[in-house]
């Protein structure tokens, strides 16, 4: 962990003011500003800004024993799990169950909280214990960030969660270093996509058709050295079809809600993928944001940042599995939608019909 002194200035500001002073000034001007938006305004990462508030009491730096820590999260009881990327936020309420953290990827596979965890990206962790006000209950959370200071995953203890367990967890995983600043590492250069002409399309399509499980898809992409959007371009329309309009996700959510059709909604970043499985009901559009506002599940997706939506069909032992895959202009995945299903069970025909109507309507 690279630590700066608490008087360090932001390298982007050109000002002698400390980051702490600059944030205080911004909050004075915008009392309701969210920390992520404040960080963008100040030209730093969210973790860098959060670190300026570390005091060892209400904001505590956590030791990087994240695999061990997550196995203790079930003791917190009811929580809200939040995973985001630059274009979508996925929030799911429930209890952490069946947590495993060995190997390359960790898993949480309860009926409510369903996560895939890639710990190589987990670098910084903080516990926040806001004492609340007369009209607002205390907010307790665990927040995790990558080396660049970008949010990976956050866990918010709900009002009926276990406050004593949270305090015990914070004490157990408190880092000896409680300095109030950090320096984010620069991001690695983006990978350069191989020219399509360097790839044997015939071999690539044969490899696609030989897949037996959706979990084989990422290793398959690595084998051929292609990006995800490049793979969809090369697959051919029987395997992947690009939809021309930007609103297919909205249409899919609205039609699933109208039919009470259970679906799976994936949102992730390099360190965490979070999955909702079940119906969706309350679909609302607010400015550029497409939202699901249900009691246990919220989704917030920036429709104005959607550059490509693909219908993708992959073979499995249980038959074809159909997904909607959503990308921004950089080719980064924003979200994935599937019909709700379990291993060993064929895909629901109602989901296939819904996607087929999206294709025919060019939503």
Question: Residues for the chain: how many in total?
Answer: 363
Q: Are residues 166 and 309 in the same domain?
A: no
Q: Are residues 87 and 127 in the same domain?
A: yes
pLDDT band at 360 (very low <50, low <70, confident <90, very high): confident
pLDDT at 4: 35
pLDDT at 343: 85
Q: Are residues 31 and 157 in the same domain?
A: yes
Residues 336, 299: contact at Cβ < 8 Å? no
User: Ranked by mean pLDDT, which of 11-20, 239-248, 291-300 comes out on top?
Assistant: 291-300
pLDDT at 255: 97
Residues 305, 328: contact at Cβ < 8 Å? yes
Q: Are residues 343 and 218 in the same domain?
A: yes
Q: Are residues 154 and 265 in the same domain?
A: no
Lay out the sheet containing 308-314: strands in order across.
99-100, 105-109, 114-118, 272-278, 263-269, 333-339, 321-327, 308-314, 240-243
pLDDT cut 70: percent of the chain above it? 93
Per-residue pLDDT tens over the stretch 135-149 = 555 689 999 999 999
Per-residue pLDDT tens over the stretch 83-104 = 999 999 999 999 999 999 988 8
Q: Are residues 153 and 261 in the same domain?
A: no
Lowest mean pLDDT among 6-15, 56-65, 113-122, 242-251: 6-15
Whether the predicted pLDDT of 7 surpasses 60? no
pLDDT average, residue stretch 334-338 = 98
Q: Are residues 128 and 89 in the same domain?
A: yes
Whether the predicted pLDDT of 41 surpasses 50? yes
Per-residue pLDDT tens over the stretch 276-307 = 999 999 999 999 999 999 999 999 999 999 99
The DSSP call for residue 116 is E
pLDDT at 362: 54
Q: Are residues 223 and 93 in the same domain?
A: no
Question: Helix, strand or coil for residue 251?
Answer: helix
Q: Are residues 203 and 160 in the same domain?
A: no
């Amino acid at each position: 962990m690279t630590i700066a002194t608490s008087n360090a200035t932001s390298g982007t500001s050109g000002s002698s003011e400390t980051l702490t002073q600059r944030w205080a000034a911004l909050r004075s001007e915008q009392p309701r500003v969210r920390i992520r938006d404040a960080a963008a305004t100040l030209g730093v990462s969210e973790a860098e800004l959060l670190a300026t508030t570390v005091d060892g009491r209400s904001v505590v730096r956590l030791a990087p024993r994240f695999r061990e820590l997550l196995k203790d999260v079930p003791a917190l009881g009811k929580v809200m799990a939040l995973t985001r990327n630059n274009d979508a936020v996925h929030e799911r309420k429930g209890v952490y169950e069946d947590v495993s953290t060995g190997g390359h990827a960790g898993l949480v596979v309860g009926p409510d909280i369903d996560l895939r965890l890639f710990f190589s990206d987990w670098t910084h962790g903080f516990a926040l214990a806001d004492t609340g006000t007369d009209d607002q209950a205390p907010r307790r959370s665990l927040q995790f960030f990558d080396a660049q200071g970008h949010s990976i995953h956050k866990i918010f203890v709900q009002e009926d969660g276990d406050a004593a367990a949270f305090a015990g967890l914070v004490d157990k995983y408190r880092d000896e270093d409680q300095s109030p600043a950090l320096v984010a590492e620069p991001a690695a250069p983006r990978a350069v996509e191989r020219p399509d002409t360097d790839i044997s399309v015939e071999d690539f399509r044969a490899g696609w058709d030989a897949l037996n499980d959706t979990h084989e898809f990422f290793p398959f992409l690595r084998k051929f050295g292609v990006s995800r959007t490049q793979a969809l371009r090369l697959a051919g329309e029987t395997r992947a079809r690009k939809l021309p309009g930007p609103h297919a996700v909205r249409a899919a959510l609205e039609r699933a809600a109208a039919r009470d059709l259970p679906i799976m909604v994936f949102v992730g970043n390099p360190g965490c993928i979070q999955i909702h499985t079940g119906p969706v009901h309350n679909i609302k559009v607010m400015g550029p944001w497409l939202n699901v506002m249900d009691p246990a599940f919220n989704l917030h997706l920036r429709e104005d940042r959607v550059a490509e939506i693909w219908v993708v069909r992959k073979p499995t032992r249980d038959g074809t599995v159909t997904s909607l895959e959503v990308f921004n202009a950089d080719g980064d995945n924003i979200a994935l939608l599937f019909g709700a299903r379990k291993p060993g069970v064929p895909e629901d025909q109602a989901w296939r019909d819904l996607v087929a109507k999206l294709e025919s309507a060019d939503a």
